[in-house]
Structure 1
Amino acid sequence: MTYPPGDPGGYTSGEGQPTPPPQGYGPPGYRPPRSPWSSPLVIAAVAIGVIVVIGAALGAYWLTRGSGSEDSSTTAGASASTQTVTSTITGSGTGSAGPAGTSPTTQPTPTTSRPTPTVSGTDWQGFLSGPRCNAADDPAIVIGRTSRSQIVICQVGAQTGRWYYKGAAPQGTIEVGYPQKVGNSYVAQNGSVTYTVSPTALVITDGDDPPTTEPMLEYWTSS
């Protein structure tokens, strides 16, 4: 192949071969094309998009925080309401422990009503200085006083119909078990001696001897 004079084939390099022009550059005066991202409209659109995203994120945050606050407030209110109702119920219950600082109500122990005898110097168990019922819960059902004697007929606890007779006189004291009620009188038998107590007199009979009668000065009965 032959080449024109002065043209060694277009591939001289180093040893006289021409160097190819720089890649990516055009002829003199050529300006490379501008990137579409450098457009003011594109930049403005991107900025607006970023602002919208940030605003949405902030709005979601504040909405979530407000909802949590309302839930906490509602929960606290419900807890307080529940606590109040519980305290009220507890306070008005059966004596089980009420709210803190409140002592349970203690019902008073009912007391047994005791009669008040009309005989002077006596209480519901007999004479304060004289014959009295034996046990702490034995009530007197009859109390009498004559010029010589003091008489008490006592009931055995709550056993209706079970009685005992106690008497005191200058000669001494006596106790007789299980007198019987005859009409409005009580009859106690001690061997050959019989003591009959009525609202009007104490009559003492010993065998065939004439009875001794002591008129009642004071008499009281619970029946």
Structure 2
Amino acid sequence: MAGGAMAGSMFGRYEMRRLLGVGGMGEVYEAYDTSKNRTVAVKVLNRELAGDPVYVQRFRRESHAMASVQEPHVIPVHDWGEVGGVLYIDMRLVKGTDLKDRLQRHGRLTPGESVQVVEQIAAALDAAHEIALIHRDVKPANILLTSSMFAYLVDFGIAHADSDPQLTSTGSAVGSMAYMAPERFEDAPLTAAVDTYALTCVLYECLVGRVPYPVNSLAGAIGSHQMAPPPRPSAVDPALSFFDAVIERGMAKRPRQRYAATGDLARAARAALVQAERAAPSTAPGPQIAAVTAAPVTAPRPVDPGPPPPTVSGPQVVVDPAAPRGQWTPPPGYRTSGPQPTRVGGHTHPSAPLPLPPRRNSSTPVLAGALGALIVIAVVGAVVWVLLGTGDDTGTIAEPPPVPPSVVQSPVEGSDTQDVPTGEHTPPSPTPVVTTVPPLQSSVSGADGQGFRTGGPRCNDNDAAMTIARTSGSRVVICHTGDNRYYYKGARASDGLGLELDDPLPTGGGGFTAVNPVDNTQYHLTPSGLTITRDGDELVSETMLEFAHR
């Protein structure tokens, strides 16, 4: 069958619209399912391979394998069967491109994007390994990416289960040489460790932009995988030195020396990323909330200090600019509407919200104007007094009377009124530094730059919302504390029950992963939705309705 020959024709109940790609065993078309009224992807086995029982078995096994792995990062299979002697698989249509094309067009990924992709594919592989299914062909061409960097693992055509007969009876290795574990070239039983090795090779290529062993011959590829030491990303980019140990273990020559599971590889990569980000200087754009400082003020020299200032009784309110930013105590009478979020870790955590800055008293401009007017009146009076004194018979200049002290009210909200003489310098209250943050790339209804105005979570007054999300069942904001750290606020739409977590980790594209240390529940927020998991089990999966990030 010529490439794309089925485009524009009917295939059973499917209207085959256009060719999406060509694989080793068949072609994938965008098709319209006339019975279900939906657009899908249909993979068909090449007719010339339909008479080969080995390829027929592989194709049937792919459909069963994909249908068996129930994991968000494996494309769901709707149906499979045979039409006119041609085998097919009906699966969800994914809008995007494969990782191989992405790397060829745009070069290497950022470390954050690389880890994000590996984490998602590791989740798919762990789910397959749990049912004793080994993929055996993990490579960038078999990883699909959406525009929001949501990754899918595809092409289970050569996946191998422990109970399967050996389909490569000729002894030839199946898979892509650049990602094949050393034991793949030997007569040895295959384990899930071959997928761990291949995924580590993918991680290296994402970080560096080239395969681990760039050789041009089959013998060179085999020899490198079997004998050459694992490559070090830092040899290409010193900033990637924290990933050296991850690649070294993931590509260990002996299967037992590798990570026990692909999920362990992903966690090690995430830890390396966190170390790299903490070690790197903070140059990334974004909201930088500066500490509250008091600007130096030169006090005016009084004409006459006058009598000593009166003693003011009553409670005094002191604002300490050097107070720890992670400690915040609600003022008396502090209330918020709706259920209060559960704070995990307490407000003394380093990434806790900043303390609220002292609010400007609305009467300050009026009092300042009154003070200025009094000073002007006093000066004019002194000048008049001097002019009148020049007419005295003695010929002496009369000394102006002392300027009466005026009073201003302290601008600290919640404090009692305090009398301050104008003749003495009083340091002003600390003023927050105005910071410009990048705009949100899109909008969420009912929300602004700090989260939801009503009926949802909202960042504290001095913090910016980096991500705002409305899913089918939740409202979520990711807040920035000003020191390149974040906190997660979420609320269920059904009952308003809230949760707040420290230190969610960015995963790229506005996505974050937060962990509840109490029960190890993980909250994965992506532009596609919110997934809540615990110990590898998916508890909740909610579709994204509106998503905005900086």
Indicate the TM-score class for this superposition, using the shorter chain for normalisation. 0.3 to 0.5
TM-score (normalised: structure 2): 0.19
TM-score (normalised: structure 1): 0.46
